[in-house]
């Protein structure tokens, strides 16, 4: 009998014989026996982990999408003051997320007042933006409160002196060895305030001209995002921009045309609600309060004759608001997506996936608002420069009256009384 050692040597010699044999000899003798290698198969659970995680993320994302939509609708119907609160909370979340990208918590242990100073500057920016709101939209309300009227009269100088106080605090807090970090955070804070807080705060001024001017731009951004995704997945072949490899020209163009049509339909349904279209010049704190007014002319549907007949139709009915909505749709389709591209490039530059994890399944608040911020500024400028008539209102008159002295206000009152008595 062969020993175990002899058999092993024989196997090795057989392998060596095959390595030294010519191709002709191998064909005659046949190929070397294949060694059977058994692979350790992964259990089904381990192989399906990526699919399970992906499905869980989809479920979480869907649930929080529904929660956000329902919450947004509830805030809209609660009233203007609650929408202001929502915008303010959004500003706080965006500022916190962007500020956190550059914060170094180890260094802030030795620079104790750095985060306090950053948030102090945020408070000043908010005071400035909201003060402008009261000056332009709520002068009638502020005229009845002496302290508020005094603050608004000297709003600009008060804001500047508050900023100077923050500047002094920052200078006194400078510490050797941390100068570069402190100045970097100082510049980062102010850039964030200018690009984010100032632009998003003008949305509030749109709200007081009618909630519809707040709903329409926001809904069009969402609509364009949805249809661009649908067309991109269904027909996308041509890449649009390197910053977002999944974006395609087919999705971009399809989203644009879909949003254009949707804007005309949205405007038709939204203009029928007085609660959404009526301007507001007060701050009612009671939620879900009704609001009635004389419908502004921009929301009134009128008959418009076509230059030529189409299938026997020579006129159509639509309002100016529907035309303005189509202009909004062009901006939200052609320009607003670049706010998202800008954010994508920024995240790639600092090598992060999301700005935060505030919203489960969606990332941070900034990830959801990157397109809305740019749209809000355009809405404000378009609304106040093109849509609204440049007329003197009671609120603006009372705003100027509040800046007069007591004697001048009394003299104005006497002159008005004489004028009214002559008219009667």
In a domain, 15, yes or no: no
Measured between alpha carbons, how far apart are the two ends of the chain, in Å? 136
Higher confidence at residue 30 or residue 412?
412
Q: Are the CB atoms for 298 and 319 separated by under 8 Å?
A: yes
* Domain span holding position 141: 56-406
Distance CA 117, CA 167 (A): 9
Structure tokens at 420: 């009214």
Q: How many CB atoms lie within 10 A of CB 250?
A: 18
In a domain, 7, yes or no: no
In a domain, 106, yes or no: yes
Q: Please give the pLDDT value at position 44.
A: 52
> What's the structural domain count of the chain?
1
- Confidence bin at 294 (pLDDT 50/70/90): confident
Q: Please give the pLDDT value at position 324.
A: 95
In a domain, 423, yes or no: no
pTM of the model: 0.76
In a domain, 34, yes or no: no
Distance CA 200, CA 377 (A): 7
- Confidence bin at 50 (pLDDT 50/70/90): low
DSSP for 294-322 reads PPPGGG--EEEEEEEEETTEEEEEE-HHH
Q: Are the CB atoms for 197 and 125 separated by under 8 Å?
A: yes
Q: Please give the pLDDT value at position 52.
A: 53
User: What average pLDDT does range 343-349 have in this prediction?
Assistant: 87
Largest CA distance in the chain: 138
In a domain, 152, yes or no: yes
In a domain, 402, yes or no: yes
Q: Which of 47-61, 256-270, 311-325 has the highest mean pLDDT?
A: 256-270
Question: Which residues are CB-neighbours of 90 under 8 A, at least 6 positions away?
Answer: 200, 365, 369
Question: In the beta sheet, which residues pair with residue 351?
Answer: none
Q: Please give the pLDDT value at position 180.
A: 92
Decide if pLDDT at 16 tops 50.
no
- Confidence bin at 351 (pLDDT 50/70/90): confident
């Amino acid at each position: 009998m062969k020993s175990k050692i002899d058999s092993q040597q024989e196997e090795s010699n057989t392998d060596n014989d095959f390595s030294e044999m010519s191709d002709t000899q191998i064909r005659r003798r046949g190929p070397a026996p294949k060694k059977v290698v058994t692979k350790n198969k992964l259990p089904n659970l381990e192989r399906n982990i990526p699919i399970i995680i992906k499905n869980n993320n989809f479920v979480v994302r869907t649930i929080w999408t529904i929660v956000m939509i329902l919450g947004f609708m509830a805030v809209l119907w609660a009233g203007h003051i609650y929408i202001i609160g929502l915008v303010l909370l959004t500003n706080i979340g965006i500022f916190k997320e962007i500020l956190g990208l550059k914060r170094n918590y180890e260094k802030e242990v030795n620079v104790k007042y750095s985060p306090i100073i950053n948030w102090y500057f945020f408070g000043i920016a908010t005071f400035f933006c909201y003060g402008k709101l009261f000056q332009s939209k709520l002068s009638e309300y502020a005229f009845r409160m002496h302290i508020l009227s005094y603050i608004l009269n000297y709003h600009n100088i008060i804001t500047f002196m508050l900023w100077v106080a923050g500047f002094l605090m920052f200078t006194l807090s400078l510490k050797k060895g941390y100068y570069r970090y402190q100045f970097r955070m100082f510049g980062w804070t102010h850039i964030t305030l200018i690009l984010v807080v100032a632009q998003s705060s003008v949305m509030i001024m749109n709200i007081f001209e009618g909630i519809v001017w707040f709903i329409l731009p926001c809904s069009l951004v969402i609509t364009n995002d949805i249809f661009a995704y649908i067309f991109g997945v269904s027909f996308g072949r041509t890449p649009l921009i390197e910053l977002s490899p999944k974006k395609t020209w087919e999705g971009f163009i399809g989203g644009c045309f879909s949003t254009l049509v949707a804007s005309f339909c949205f405007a038709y349904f939204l203009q029928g609600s007085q609660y959404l279209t009526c301007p507001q010049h007060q701050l009612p704190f009671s939620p879900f309060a009704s609001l009635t007014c004389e419908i502004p002319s921009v929301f009134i549907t009128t008959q418009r004759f076509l230059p030529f007949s189409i299938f026997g139709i020579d006129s159509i009915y639509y309002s100016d608001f529907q035309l303005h909505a189509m202009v909004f749709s062009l901006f939200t389709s052609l320009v607003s997506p670049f706010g998202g591209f800008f954010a994508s490039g920024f995240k790639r530059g600092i090598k992060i996936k999301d700005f935060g994890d505030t919203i489960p399944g969606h990332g941070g608040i900034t990830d959801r608002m990157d397109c809305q911020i740019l749209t809000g500024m355009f809405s404000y400028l378009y609304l106040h420069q093109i849509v609204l008539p440049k007329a003197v209102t009671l609120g603006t008159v009372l705003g100027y009256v509040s800046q007069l002295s007591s004697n001048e206000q009394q003299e104005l009152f006497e002159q008005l009384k004489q004028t009214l008595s002559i008219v009667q």
